[in-house]
Amino acid sequence: MIQAAYIHIPFCTHICHYCDFNKVFLHQQPVDAYIDALIVEMERTFERVPTSQLQTVFIGGGTPTSLTAKQLDRLLGAIHRIVPIASDVELTIEANPDGVSDEQLYVLKQWGVNRLSFGVQTFDNELLRHIGRTHTKETAIETIERANELGFHNINIDLMYGLPTQTIDQLKETLHITFSLPIQHVSAYSLIIEPKTVFYNLMKKRALPLPSQEEEAHMYEMVMEQMEKHGYNQYELSNYAQKGAVSRHNMTYWNNEHYYGFGAGAHSYVNGVRYVNAGPIKKYIQLIEQGQLPYVHTHIVSKEEQMEEHMFLGLRKTKGVNKQQFLQRYGKTVHDVFSDAIMLHKRNGLLDETDEALFLTHRGKLLGNEVFQSFLGVSS
């Protein structure tokens, strides 16, 4: 039974230098028509593929809080009307630290949003300017504290390391500020340079002064060490949570479970089939207005692909891949399918295992991509 849904809001008031998500500049966009289409897509999807209760709903972007309070009210009202959500649902929305008002926060609270995710990235003003963010350290701190005062007690912030010109001391100060704030969850990612971004173009011109691989690895190790020291348990390669604050929505992906995806460019994984929605806003709206669902790509996931995905997603979790669950789901053991890859990475110190699970070692966390790639294309 499907228990999770992702809802995409592709609008931004500013485009960051590193972002390659499906997004558009908000000005002169058909926002209300987009919300209309989004509501219709949800209605048609739940008629076509019903489920009993969703345990998690995640509204991401883009910048969902680029919508006005009235537009957010309309969207959240429709979600509650259309989507069968559990009474204890984890309902998350992403927000920019300088793009959410008290009025918007009141609307979110009224409709049961119980988890906020702020794209902070760093608490260093110089670095914020370098990466194209519009908020400041002071604004981010003020917004997080204000959200806590208004009753939001499950707050995530996204942090980035390996940023251009970033030093260990700058990252250390960002972590120090993080631990002083009412934050229950941290997603800390290394910068990845994606095509079609400002940073990609600068890198091609050799005008992007990035930390070395050794410096970036040092940053990652420091993040892991400091998070553990301050009571944030690392439950996935890039995610850390205080007790009771693990993201149930994130776990849906890493457990390779099914989920709905709504909105322009959204992906779904429903009953063994992966769907990709049209990315351009006008194309997405047009498909909905023509009475269709907005799919532009459909892929039936083979059993072999499911097993491969189960491994490289599951190994991102610090607990790793549960062997019994793998056997129950696929009728084979992990060693039946991936013995060569497992033995290779155990020999080189990247994987370890117990009777219950297969998991990355500390060194394996630093070289995770090397491990994950070895599980692709080997199960057939």
Are 147 and 16 contained in the same domain? yes
Are 334 and 196 contained in the same domain? no
Q: What is the CATH number of the domain that holds 46?
A: 3.80.30.20
CA distances from 46 to 97, 101, 379 (A): 33, 32, 33
Per-residue pLDDT of the chain (380 residues; tens, 9 = 90+): 899 999 999 997 765 554 555 557 677 899 999 999 999 999 999 999 999 999 999 999 889 999 999 999 999 999 999 999 999 999 999 999 997 999 999 999 999 999 999 999 999 999 999 888 889 999 999 999 999 999 999 999 999 999 999 999 999 999 999 999 999 999 999 987 777 766 767 767 776 778 888 999 999 999 999 999 999 999 999 999 999 999 999 999 999 999 999 999 999 999 999 999 999 999 999 999 999 999 999 999 999 999 999 999 999 999 999 999 999 999 999 999 999 999 999 999 999 999 999 999 999 999 999 999 999 876 55
Domain total in the chain: 2
In this structure, is residue 366 part of a structural domain?
yes
In this structure, is residue 265 part of a structural domain?
no
Q: What is the CATH number of the domain that holds 354?
A: 1.10.10.920
Q: What is the CA radius of gyration of the chain?
A: 21
Are 123 and 195 contained in the same domain? yes
Are 316 and 188 contained in the same domain? no
Are 78 and 201 contained in the same domain? yes
Are 129 and 234 contained in the same domain? yes
Are 183 and 57 contained in the same domain? yes
Q: Residue 62 sits in which domain range?
A: 4-254
User: Where does the chain show beta strands of DSSP type E?
Assistant: 4-9, 11-12, 24-25, 54-61, 85-95, 115-121, 155-161, 185-190, 233-236, 239-241, 260-262, 267-270, 273-277, 295-300, 321-322, 351-353, 357-360
